[in-house]
Structure 1
Amino acid sequence: MYLAHAPIYEESGLSHLHWRVRALVGAYAVSVYGNFLNLIALSLFTYEVTGSGLGLGLLMALRLFAGVLAGLGAGALAARVGRRAMMIGADLGQAVAMVVLALSATGSAPVWLLAVVVVVLGAGNTFFTVALRSAVPVMVGHEARVRTNGQLTTSRSVATVAGFASAAPIIELAGHSAAFAVNAATFLVSAVALSLLRPRMEEDRKGPQTAPEAGAASLRQVLRAVPALLLGMVLLRGVDALASSSHNVALPVVADVESPGDPALFMTQFWASWAVGTFLAHQLLKRRHASWSEGRWGAYAFAVGTCVMSVSFVLAFTGPAPLLLMAVAGVAGLADGFTEIVYTSRLQAAPDRERSRLFGLSATAETSGFALGMVAAAAALEMWPALAVVGLFHGMALCAALAFLLLSLAARRRMIEQPYEKPSHSEGANTHGPCTRTGPVPRA
């Protein structure tokens, strides 16, 4: 039965995920698999239809731009229709788009149809992700959100590798239409799971409420309410996304140089090692206390993890031996998974009425950074070697993470060392007694 008033964990404790959450994680993994299968298939099909790299780039940019706009409106939409309804609608919309494209792929699909499809995919993916991330604390409770985020991150990593690895065989054996049909089926699996399992995704609210009180806080209200440290994490996440675009663009180039006979195998080994690292990150965090993602400790851990990830990705492009490359890629995946879990868990600590807006803002920052980085990195690769491009972009992320860490530590030190002075009566102070500050230092 659907539990209407409690997180869906077993009463025996937090040692095991409830089967409903496991089922949702599995459905999410299927959906992610379809997304990354589609990423390869749609890119190849778009290039075939447009006949130019410019056409492919413009349509991919349109997809990312749709995601940016969707992030700005995701919080308001979630407050109006509910998170579960938004996720189901996103799945069904993307499934319909892929069915239409699968039927059109047998002939000559018009460019306008591709444009509509990429807009639906870009917006739908953002709507789904924002709703899912902001709903995790409601589904499983705040104490269990780190473990659930780890499950989601691990399943996504494995599904990513599987989607990339299976794209070429499916397209070669059955064509683009089959790949699009498989992707449509994965969206339907996710929508059906959400419909049947009916997870609780909204906090109970007592009494009559207006739209803002029910969770539709405006973006301006969220920015005012969120501490500067948390907004700094969102900004750093956007810079990290910009840096990550560089190795995504440069890896196929390096694979073609390092393994001209089978570049696909090179890329599969790289991403498989990365996925193993993300799995290890989940194993590490689930054995630690949730304070890894709380307050300033979560911000510090996120910044340090970003530094390790950037350095690891740069080292992966220095031409190491195959086994060393896999080890470095694994460390990059470990840091990537660590930062993803810590960052998501930290944002989920925000009040429910602000959480969807906050994740929408995060999605906008990440998608904008990745879109800008894809264009800039592709242009830079025309002039410089892959190592220089990846080093430049991840160097920016490294500098941003170090600056964020230093500024956070300096602000913390000023807060602790700030003297508490007793105001004088002439300054309009409270005349009923001394003004004192007690209790712990406020957390970010």
Structure 2
Amino acid sequence: MNRKLILYVKALSDFGTFMDLIVLNVVIYAATGSPLWLAAAMAARTIGGVLSSLFSGVVADRFDRRKIMIYTDILRAIIILALIPFPSPTFIIIASFLIGLTSTFFGVSFSAEIPRIFGENRVLETNAIIARLTSISLVAGFIAAGVITDFLGYKITLIIDASTYLVSALVLVKMKWETAIPRTDTALTSGAREKIMSVMNDLKEVYKYLSLAPMLMMINVVFLVGSFAGSSHNLGIPLLAENLDAERQGFYYGMIWGVWGIGSVLATMILPRLRWLLDQKLYWVCFSSAILMSTGFIIFLSTSFVWIIFPFAFFTGIFDACFTTLHATILQKTENHIRGRIFGVGMLLKSLGFALGFILAPLLLERMTMPNMVWILHGTLIITTIIITCIAFHYHTKKVTPQVTKEI
């Protein structure tokens, strides 16, 4: 079976994830009419991702990653289908938590396994395809969830959503590739104390690895702040759409993300053609993409002119995809025995950053306008990235200078 099929399996799984992101929020808001319940569902999903990030990387390094992806797809299908007979707000919050938990397991295992499936020398090209398909899944998932729920009801949406996970699991069962031999030391450990000590040793190993790779540590700091800043535009775009036309908020909301998605797809098509640049300047292009991404969000979220909003949403989508793709490429260059835990840390940083931003952004909105809130959060990312870039440049210069001196 063609190994590229796994990329489309991931896209299908993402499509389901983006669908249930919309439909669960729609159902709980329709049932309660309360923004607090809606916020609780979003928070539950984030908390599930945070908790999963603490040990998903360890699990991905110790067990068969393919089987982890299969089991999490099946679990997500069961969770979604269980909502049809039990659509209570409390169960929806529990389901949101479990979806966040299992989705992180799937994402970490998938990302860590990419170099083994496609080879170390094709990581950048593969990541570009993944980012392109993810952007398409995002746009299609959001639109499909809204249209299907509106015309056919949320139960049909949930059935279609669950079927995407089941199809993904079925294809993964049929696919075979050479996987890493699972480490058996965990299976031999007995007792809760020993297992906890084993996990702690794994986390210490990740910290030690990052300490010896300061550039990797710095890129993760930028990624953390980027996730923190991301909460501002996730909250700001629907408010901007309402400001453009309250009666057509859904239309503008979808169109802004749609144009952003087109920019993301274009970026993933261009990146593989820039290997000559990325091989030499991978970190610097990643840092620059973060700055340009934030600049784009600030510009189009600070205006009500459509002729400015859509071009800069497109512009922002390009550099958002560049930043995400290059960050994943950098992490995938780590050694296989620890790669799953490195991605686990990355997912943890993403979840924590988003959770912190999701707490701060609404508080800022009570005291200032939406554009000012975006300026503060994305401005923080720009300033942080500039500082990190200067530190990285100093580290790189310091590392190269002794070699030059020795040669002279």
Q: Settle same-fold status: TM greater than 0.5.
A: yes
Q: Which amino acid in structure 1 is aligned with residue 243 of structure 2?
A: V
2:69 to 68, 83, 87: 87
CA contact (8 A) 1:298 1:343 kept: no
The C-alpha deviation readout for 1:380-403, integer Å capped at 9, x for no partner, is: 222211111111110000011101
Q: Which amino acid in structure 2 is aligned with residue 131 of structure 1?
A: S
Further displaced range: 37-46 or 389-398: 37-46
Matched, 1:357 2:341: yes
Q: Which amino acid in structure 2 is aligned with residue 347 of structure 1?
A: L
Q: Which amino acid in structure 2 is aligned with residue 203 of structure 1?
A: A
Aligned equivalents of 2:279, 2:245: Cα separation in 1: 40
Aligned equivalents of 1:325, 1:58: Cα separation in 2: 30
RMSD: 2.3
1:312 positional shift: 0.4
CA contact (8 A) 1:146 1:290 kept: no
Aligned equivalents of 2:404, 2:252: Cα separation in 1: 60
1:293 positional shift: 5.8
Q: What TM-score do you get using the length of structure 2 for normalisation?
A: 0.91
Aligned equivalents of 2:147, 2:27: Cα separation in 1: 15
The C-alpha deviation readout for 1:43-85, integer Å capped at 9, x for no partner, is: 1212233442222212321211111111110122123321111
Aligned equivalents of 2:146, 2:57: Cα separation in 1: 37
Higher Cα Rg: structure 1 or 2? 1
Aligned equivalents of 1:81, 1:194: Cα separation in 2: 16
Aligned equivalents of 2:205, 2:402: Cα separation in 1: 28
Matched, 1:137 2:137: no
Matched, 1:66 2:43: no
Matched, 1:239 2:221: no
Residue equivalent to 1:387:
371
CA contact (8 A) 1:64 1:367 kept: yes
Matched, 1:162 2:140: yes
The C-alpha deviation readout for 1:374-431, integer Å capped at 9, x for no partner, is: 121122222211111111110000011101101000111222334899xxxxxxxxxx
The C-alpha deviation readout for 1:282-307, integer Å capped at 9, x for no partner, is: 1221112276167xx32211111000
Instruction: Give the 5 Å matches for 1:155-194.
Output: 155-194=133-172
Task: Please state whether the residue corresponding to 1:135 is helix, strand or coil.
Answer: helix
Q: Which amino acid in structure 2 is aligned with residue 231 of structure 1?
A: M
Matched, 1:203 2:187: no
Q: Which amino acid in structure 2 is aligned with residue 330 of structure 1?
A: F
Aligned equivalents of 2:358, 2:7: Cα separation in 1: 29
Instruction: Give the 5 Å matches for 1:120-131.
Output: 120-131=98-109
Instruction: Give the 5 Å matches for 1:326-341.
Output: 326-341=310-325
Aligned equivalents of 2:362, 2:84: Cα separation in 1: 29
1:132 positional shift: 0.8
CA contact (8 A) 1:143 1:290 kept: no
Change (3 A) 1:406 1:220: same
Matched, 1:20 2:6: no
1:262 to 248, 263, 281: 248
Aligned equivalents of 1:180, 1:79: Cα separation in 2: 32
Gaps in structure 1 of 5+ consecutive residues:
2-18, 422-436, 439-444
Further displaced range: 165-174 or 350-359: 165-174
1:110 positional shift: 5.4
Q: Which amino acid in structure 1 is aligned with residue 216 of structure 2?
A: L
The C-alpha deviation readout for 1:183-216, integer Å capped at 9, x for no partner, is: 111111111111112344x2369xx97569xx98
Q: What TM-score do you get using the length of structure 1 for normalisation?
A: 0.84
CA contact (8 A) 2:77 2:163 kept: yes
Instruction: Give the 5 Å matches for 1:178-327.
Output: 178-200=156-178, 202-203=179-180, 210=185, 218-226=202-210, 227-289=213-275, 292=278, 297-319=281-303, 321-327=305-311
Change (3 A) 1:290 1:141: farther
Task: Please state whether the residue corresponding to 2:180 is helix, strand or coil.
Answer: coil
Gaps in structure 2 of 5+ consecutive residues:
188-197
CA contact (8 A) 1:293 1:343 kept: no
Structure 1 residue ranges (4+ consecutive) displaced by more than 4 angstroms after TM superposition: 208-212, 418-421
1:25 positional shift: 1.7
Aligned equivalents of 2:136, 2:366: Cα separation in 1: 32
Aligned equivalents of 1:347, 1:178: Cα separation in 2: 38
1:263 positional shift: 1.2
Q: Which amino acid in structure 2 is aligned with residue 48 of structure 1?
A: A
Change (3 A) 1:209 1:58: closer
Q: How many residues align?
A: 394
Aligned equivalents of 1:337, 1:290: Cα separation in 2: 19
